[in-house]
Structure 1
Amino acid sequence: MDVGHEVARVLAEMRAQADPVRAEKEKRYLKSDLFHIGVTVPALRKVALSAVRTEPTRDELVTLAEALWGVTDEGRPVHEARMAAIEVLVKRAALLEPRDVRLAERFVRDSASWVYVDALAEKVVGGLVLRYPDLGAVLDAWVRDPYMWIRRTAVLALLAGVRAGNPDLERLDRFGNAVLGETGFFIRKALGWVLRELSKKDPEWVVAWVLPRTGVLSGVTLREAARRLPEEDAALILNR
């Protein structure tokens, strides 16, 4: 793969579909300081994934993602290029190795929005932890990290196991307890999101975990946790 050529091609194809009105609306919605081209998500994804249609090597994939992540315009990172970096990593996540959890960490630490963090958390970090369980120790450190988006990543990485039918209940218990006192919306929402997904397959565990904590869990966490529970269980949680 000629990485430089692919980056230039991806950017050129996205710029050909630029919509300045969309770019401004997106900037406001995301409260973003980045440069926005203004490309729809389906169009962005199609262009990005064309760069890895022929399976690259692991080194080519990482180099491509890093190059896209580093693209700037008017001295600012380009939103769509960063999204493209994430798309190629997600598409070819099976090529990633344990050491690549540090690449994902670098991208998360360089982010300040769910729009970048969430796919990295579940599809990249979570996928790596599923394949290499020893990486769970990384999440154990991240859940107490000072940077909120790293803590959100630690929690949301558990979604991969939940969706795969292999939930890490011990870690979910510990992480949930670790973030009980969080006041930020994005952590509260993340915990509720994981509990909601788990409730589809193991509602009994969710009810047993949530009920003793209804006095300390936030409303957003409780509402998310109850959303997919049987009606009686949801009422028990929400009315407690």
Structure 2
Amino acid sequence: MDVAHEAARIEKELRAQADPVRSVNEKRYLKSDFVHIGVPMGPLRKIAVSAVRAEPERASVLALARTLWEATEDGRPVHELRMAAIEVLVRRAALLTSGDLAFAERLIRDSAGWVYVDSLAEKVVGGLVRRDPALGAVLDRWAADPYLWIRRTALLALLPGVRASEPDLGRVSAFGDLLIGEREFFIRKALGWVLRELTKKGQAGWVRDWVAARTDRISGVAIREAVRRLPPADAEPLLAAYKAGVQAR
């Protein structure tokens, strides 16, 4: 692959799809300081993955993602090019090796919000951890990391196992206990999200019991997500206990 050529082609095709109104609205919604071209995810994904549709080499995938990620306009990152970098990695995540976790971490630490982090967390980091369970030790460290998007990644990287009905319940519980007192909305939401997905995959009883033991500590955001798919007979007592706990605090 001619990485420079493909990166230039992707940028040219994205700019041909520019929507100034979308650009302004998306920038406002994401509270972004980046340059925004204004391209919906459907066309963006199609343009990005076309570069790696044929079987590429791992090194080319990494180089293209790096080139797109590091591109700037007037010294500022370009939102759509960063999203294109993520789509390239997600599309060819199966080519990545355990050592590429460091590259994924670099992108996450360089991210400015959930829109960049979540696909990297689940599809890239989560995929690597599923293929090499020893990388779970990295998630253990990340769960206590000072950077909120790394902590969110530690939680969301557990989702592939949950979706495959092979959840790492030990880490869900450990990370949940570690992060249950978080004040950051995006961590609270991620915890509830993981618990909700567990319920969808046949772990309703486990989720019910885990939450029941923590109604005095769990946040409103997390418990509302956690009980969303529980039967009313389970969800209602948990919410009542939570509300009683809030009143007693």
> TM-score scaled by structure 2?
0.95
Structure 1 residue 75 displacement after superposition: 1.1
Distance 1:234 1:96 in 2: 40
Distance 1:231 1:56 in 2: 49
Distance 2:227 2:17 in 1: 41
Structure 1 residue ranges (4+ consecutive) displaced by more than 2 angstroms after TM superposition: none
1:74-223 → structure 2 map (5 Å cutoff): 74-200=74-200, 201-223=202-224
Structure 1 residue 51 displacement after superposition: 0.6
Structure 1 residue 230 displacement after superposition: 1.1
Tell me the residue number matched to 1:65: 65
Structure 1 residue 34 displacement after superposition: 0.4
Structure 1 residue 180 displacement after superposition: 1.4
Distance 2:233 2:180 in 1: 24
SS of the residue corresponding to residue 55 of structure 2 reads coil
1:29-40 → structure 2 map (5 Å cutoff): 29-40=29-40
Q: Which letter does structure 1 place at the counterpart of 2:203?
A: D
> TM-score scaled by structure 1?
0.99
Distance 1:85 1:100 in 2: 15
- RMSD of aligned alpha carbons: 0.6
| 1:15-51, Cα deviation, whole Å (9 max, x unpaired) | 0010111101000000000000110110100100101
Consecutive unaligned residues in structure 1, runs of 5 or more: none
Tell me the number of residue pairs that the alignment of Structure 1 and Structure 2 aligns: 240
Of all paired residues, the percent bearing the same amino acid is 65
SS of the residue corresponding to residue 51 of structure 1 reads helix
Distance 1:90 1:208 in 2: 34
Q: Which letter does structure 2 place at the counterpart of 1:190?
A: A
Tell me the residue number matched to 1:48: 48
Distance 1:226 1:61 in 2: 40
Distance 1:221 1:180 in 2: 8
Tell me the residue number matched to 1:20: 20
Tell me the residue number matched to 1:235: 236
| 1:47-67, Cα deviation, whole Å (9 max, x unpaired) | 001011102111111111101
SS of the residue corresponding to residue 213 of structure 1 reads coil
Distance 2:157 2:208 in 1: 21
Tell me the residue number matched to 2:244: none
Structure 1 residue 128 displacement after superposition: 0.4
Distance 2:107 2:164 in 1: 25
Q: Which letter does structure 1 place at the counterpart of 2:74?
A: E
Distance 1:186 1:113 in 2: 9
Consecutive unaligned residues in structure 2, runs of 5 or more: 242-249
SS of the residue corresponding to residue 236 of structure 2 reads helix
Structure 1 residue 237 displacement after superposition: 1.2
| 1:118-138, Cα deviation, whole Å (9 max, x unpaired) | 000000000100000000000
Q: Which letter does structure 2 place at the counterpart of 1:50?
A: S
Distance 2:128 2:185 in 1: 26
Distance 2:194 2:147 in 1: 20
Distance 2:198 2:67 in 1: 36
Distance 1:78 1:164 in 2: 34
Structure 1 residue 95 displacement after superposition: 0.2
Distance 1:49 1:165 in 2: 28
